[in-house]
């Protein structure tokens, strides 16, 4: 049975199974970590939004959960970020191919890719997000 905010761990397991050569981190791993202290390169799988799609039937509430998959890279001494992007690009491609249309279980709809927030670059660190969503029902 699906549960709110369980999707990041399902996505993380999928990415780990793909054999990415970088660690997969979650929100709990990042608590209190500054940008320059982040593990890089890495994939961060973060809850982003939970929206009620339909609540007309109290015993079957439909939700849409959105998750960010953020590729974090570091390339010190280069302000343009060109090499940080070069490091991120293959990881972004691998994550997108692994997740677009993937269905965590029959209780979830296949993941849809969406327009993500803008990437961030600072102090040689780059954060390049992908955004995915799925829908499911909470039933009693």
The residue ranges of every structural domain in the chain are 7-139
- What is the third-level CATH fold of 7-139? STM4215-like (3.30.2000)
Q: What is the mean pLDDT of the chain?
A: 89
Question: Scanning the structure block, which residue is given the tokens 């090499």?
Answer: 83
31-58 pLDDT tens trace: 655 565 677 889 999 999 999 999 888 7
Q: What is the CB neighbour count within 10 angstroms for residue 57?
A: 10
Side-chain half-sphere CA neighbours of 42 within 13 A: 16
pTM of the model: 0.89
Confidence (pLDDT) at 74:
82
State the burial class of residue 75 (Cβ atoms within 10 Å of its Cβ: 0-12, 13-18, 19+). buried
């Amino acid at each position: 049975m699906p549960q709110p905010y369980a999707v990041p761990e399902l996505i993380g397991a999928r990415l780990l199974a793909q054999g990415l050569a970088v660690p997969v981190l979650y929100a709990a791993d990042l608590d209190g970590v500054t940008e320059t202290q982040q593990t890089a390169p890495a994939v961060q799988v973060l809850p982003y939004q939970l929206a009620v799609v339909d609540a007309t039937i109290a015993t079957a509430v439909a939700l849409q959960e959105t998750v960010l998959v953020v590729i974090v890279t570091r390339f010190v001494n280069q302000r343009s970020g060109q090499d940080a992007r070069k490091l991120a690009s293959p990881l972004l491609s691998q994550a997108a191919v692994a997740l677009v249309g993937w269905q965590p279980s029959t209780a979830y709809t296949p993941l849809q890719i969406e327009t993500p927030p803008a990437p961030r670059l600072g102090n040689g660190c780059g954060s390049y997000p992908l955004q995915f969503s799925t829908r499911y029902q909470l039933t009693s």
